[in-house]
Chain A
Amino acid sequence: MRTYIARRLLLFVPTLFGASLLIFVLMRLVPGDIAEILVYQTGSESSAVQTRQIEQIRRELGLDRPVATQFLAWLGGAVRGDFGYSYSQRRPVNEILAERFPRSMELAAITLLLAALWSIPLGVVSAVRQNTWLDYLVRVLSISGLSLPIFFTGVLILYLLVRVFRWLPPLEYVSLTEAPLENLKQLIWPALAQAYYISAPIMRLTRSQMLEVVRQDYVRTARAKGLGEGSVMYRHALRNSLLPVVTFIGWWGGRLLGGVVIMEIIFAVPGMGLALVQAVSYRDYPTVQAIIFVMALIFLAVNLAVDLLYGWLDPRIRYA
């Protein structure tokens, strides 16, 4: 077990290195750099002055060094937990991460909670009442959820909110600790839009798992020994069919952090994704690299946690 975890953790290293290198190279291929953007933005006249300014900013940021040196310098900082300085936001990147990550995490958590809360019961009902109108309704709901792109659902929800409730996403974000209720009122809508999309596969998986489990011998035994239907379904069928569902939800949790970008844009939630899109347009290399690095790290960690959880929930599975 311990060697399994150690081996998996060891694999993080080449994966994160590869991912960081790829993003680094891609960002350097983006035409223009932050020095040009900052200087041309201020709109000064003389081109000779501008060129000097650009060169000076590049020197300050170390952008005049060879690209390989820049990458190694960044990597050296990153492994020590120092992601450098964001020139577009004029503060350390670590500060941006500390501010933005909890917001995206919260949005992802609410999304998963909402999705699980209604898709698991619906999946169970659909399996227990297989081939009734209820089952068909759930299946149509689930396949339509997969077909509506999240940005369309998001825009539709926003439209209804504006039309019916005269509500616009607030320009000022309030944090969970400051005003929990206000905060939830902001995040519930993007979470709802995203949850509708991911609840579809959860519903399908719960349904197919339940259908498989209720045909097992031990379920027949439970019925034969005279247990009530509720007890059979809850204690014997549901508990055993939830295993892959739980791990699937966990897998989504890892993916969601990158996936909430679109919701953050539509509902103006100043989270990770929004920061990333802005950083890309400013060619703010340290910020882009840090955000993507942390996203990849969380994805890998969640995947490992899900695999371990699987073994813990199902004692038949043992990792050598």
Chain B
Amino acid sequence: MKPPPPRAVARFVQRQPLGAIGGVIVVVLVAVALFAPQLAPHGPKETGFAPYLPPSADFPMGTDQIGRDVLSRVVWGARLSLYVGLTSVLIGVTLGALWGVVTAYIGGAPDSGSQRVVDSLMALPPIILALALMAALGQSVNNVVLALLLLLVPTAARTVRSVALSVKEFPFVEAAMAAGCSHTRVIVRHILPNCLATYIVLVTTNVSYAIVVEASLSFIGAGAPPDEPSWGGMLTAGTQAMENAPWLVLFPGVAISLAVFGLNLLGDAIRDLADPRLRGGLG
């Protein structure tokens, strides 16, 4: 990927100052996730230190209930969060977008049938749907991604479908059909590109959502296995000893808040730029 020219960056900073702050936080987050092995002083699952050590020079964020270095786990947690957030959102929104575009194009019974499936999935409370799926699949990081797909695909399908329905009515689609384009060509070359802005907005605004859902699932003990360095899971374990060892709650909590804060700011800015119609949306 080519870095954007400096002038474009300057313009973005000027027009979206909050977005730029978010961008900086996200860059730091990505860097921490990429260089976790170099940055973390210890392994994320490495035990053997004294438990419940308060923050000190040796352990800047203290140690946890079974003697693991909290700093190392917070650093590796960035990698886990970003991995879950990015894979689930990229796969989920892509599948949902394809589903939405294809059913909107076909129309009729298949379309309304698929909308009923979306209705059913969206009528279930998200955390509870994810909880049920995790109970069925068993706890692992990749199963959290699967559970998130179940939440993200229907939402994306519904949003993209509504955009595709209006794109379908444009004269250029009719022209393409009149010129003898195949259905696949009409969808891929004419309808899909016009849903791109919605797609980008869906991706950028849902990464923070996915990260929060992962942490929430791990918090209620249904997400990543307890030894994985998930910020949500670390928080749960810390809650047990909160009164005497508040750092166990504070550091993972601040890490997740900061990550979500940065992603929200950046997502808002990208939404404003990519799709002015959604400006001032509901977040």
Give the docked Cα–Cα distance between A30 and B135 (Å).
6
Decide yes or no whether B12 CB sits under 8 A from chain A.
Answer: no
B128 to chain A, nearest CB (A): 5
Give the docked Cα–Cα distance between A23 and B124 (Å).
9
Q: B265 contacts which chain A residues (CB < 8 A)? A: 143
Q: B280 contacts which chain A residues (CB < 8 A)? A: 204-205, 208
Decide yes or no whether A276 CB sits under 8 A from chain B.
Answer: yes
Question: Number of B residues contacting the other chain (C-beta, 8 Å)?
Answer: 43
Give the docked Cα–Cα distance between A262 and B219 (Å).
9
Segment among A34-42, A65-73, A157-165, A232-240 that sits at the interface with chain B: A157-165
Segment among B62-70, B99-107, B235-243 that sits at the interface with chain A: B235-243
Interface string of A209-233 (1 = CB under 8 A from B): 0000000000000000000000000
Query: By the criterion CB–CB under 8 Å, are B132 and A155 in contact?
Result: no
Partner of A155, one of B128, B249, B258: B249
Query: By the criterion CB–CB under 8 Å, are A156 and B253 in contact?
Result: yes
Segment among A8-16, A44-52, A187-195, A311-319 that sits at the interface with chain B: A8-16
Look across to chain B and name the residue whose beta carbon is closest to the beta carbon of A204: B283
Give the docked Cα–Cα distance between A148 and B208 (Å).
11
Query: By the criterion CB–CB under 8 Å, are A22 and B120 in contact?
Result: yes
Look across to chain A and name the residue whose beta carbon is closest to the beta carbon of B116: A14
Interface string of A2-38 (1 = CB under 8 A from B): 0000000001001111110011001101110000000
Q: A242 contacts which chain B residues (CB < 8 A)? A: none
Query: By the criterion CB–CB under 8 Å, are B282 and A149 in contact?
Result: no
Give the docked Cα–Cα distance between A299 and B246 (Å).
37
* Given known A-B contacts A15-B116, A23-B132, A151 and B219 have beta carbons under 8 A apart: yes
Query: By the criterion CB–CB under 8 Å, are B219 and A19 in contact?
Result: no
The tally of CB-CB contacts under 8 A between chains A and B is 142
Decide yes or no whether B264 CB sits under 8 A from chain A.
Answer: yes
Query: By the criterion CB–CB under 8 Å, are A151 and B235 in contact?
Result: yes
Interface string of A171-201 (1 = CB under 8 A from B): 0000000000000000000000000000011
Give the docked Cα–Cα distance between A22 and B117 (Å).
10
Query: By the criterion CB–CB under 8 Å, are A26 and B123 in contact?
Result: no
Q: A205 contacts which chain B residues (CB < 8 A)? A: 280, 282
Query: By the criterion CB–CB under 8 Å, are B124 and A19 in contact?
Result: yes
Decide yes or no whether B131 CB sits under 8 A from chain A.
Answer: yes
Give the docked Cα–Cα distance between A229 and B246 (Å).
49
Contact residues of B between 111 and 128, Cβ < 8 Å to A: 116-117, 119-121, 123-128
A143 to chain B, nearest CB (A): 6
Give the docked Cα–Cα distance between A71 and B128 (Å).
20
Look across to chain A and name the residue whose beta carbon is closest to the beta carbon of B125: A258
Interface string of A238-282 (1 = CB under 8 A from B): 000000000010000001011101100110000001001100110
Q: B128 contacts which chain A residues (CB < 8 A)? A: 258, 261, 273, 276, 292, 295
Give the docked Cα–Cα distance between A262 and B116 (Å).
29
Query: By the criterion CB–CB under 8 Å, are B220 and A29 in contact?
Result: no
Q: A200 contacts which chain B residues (CB < 8 A)? A: 283
Query: By the criterion CB–CB under 8 Å, are B127 and A147 in contact?
Result: no
A312 to chain B, nearest CB (A): 22
Decide yes or no whether B138 CB sits under 8 A from chain A.
Answer: yes
Query: By the criterion CB–CB under 8 Å, are A149 and B256 in contact?
Result: yes
Q: B119 contacts which chain A residues (CB < 8 A)? A: 11, 14-15, 18
Q: B283 contacts which chain A residues (CB < 8 A)? A: 146, 200-201, 204
A146 to chain B, nearest CB (A): 6
Decide yes or no whether A167 CB sits under 8 A from chain B.
Answer: no
B172 to chain A, nearest CB (A): 30
Query: By the criterion CB–CB under 8 Å, are B256 and A295 in contact?
Result: no
Give the docked Cα–Cα distance between A296 and B128 (Å).
11
Decide yes or no whether B133 CB sits under 8 A from chain A.
Answer: yes
Query: By the criterion CB–CB under 8 Å, are B260 and A149 in contact?
Result: yes
Give the docked Cα–Cα distance between A22 and B67 (Å).
41
Decide yes or no whether B215 CB sits under 8 A from chain A.
Answer: yes
A272 to chain B, nearest CB (A): 10
A209 to chain B, nearest CB (A): 9
Query: By the criterion CB–CB under 8 Å, are B123 and A16 in contact?
Result: yes
Decide yes or no whether B89 CB sits under 8 A from chain A.
Answer: no
Contact residues of B between 226 and 260, Cβ < 8 Å to A: 232, 235, 239, 242-243, 246, 249, 253, 256-258, 260
Look across to chain A and name the residue whose beta carbon is closest to the beta carbon of B258: A147
* Given known A-B contacts A15-B119, A147-B264, A152-B256, A280 and B135 have beta carbons under 8 A apart: yes
Query: By the criterion CB–CB under 8 Å, are A295 and B235 in contact?
Result: no
B267 to chain A, nearest CB (A): 10
Look across to chain B and name the residue whose beta carbon is closest to the beta carbon of A22: B120
Query: By the criterion CB–CB under 8 Å, are B123 and A163 in contact?
Result: no
A41 to chain B, nearest CB (A): 18
- Since A147-B257, A205-B280, A295-B124 are in contact, a sample of 16 more A-B pairs with Cβ atoms closer than 8 Å, ordered by chain A residue number, is A15-B123, A18-B119, A23-B124, A148-B257, A149-B212, A149-B256, A152-B235, A155-B235, A155-B242, A201-B283, A258-B126, A261-B127, A262-B216, A265-B220, A276-B128, A277-B131
Q: Which 5 A-B pairs have the closest CB atoms?
A: A258-B125, A18-B120, A208-B280, A147-B261, A29-B136
Pull 28 A–B residue pairs with CB atoms less than 8 Å apart, ordered by A: A14-B120, A16-B120, A16-B123, A18-B119, A22-B120, A26-B135, A27-B132, A27-B136, A146-B264, A147-B264, A149-B253, A149-B257, A151-B216, A151-B235, A152-B249, A152-B256, A155-B253, A159-B242, A201-B282, A204-B282, A205-B280, A208-B280, A261-B125, A261-B128, A276-B128, A280-B131, A280-B132, A280-B135
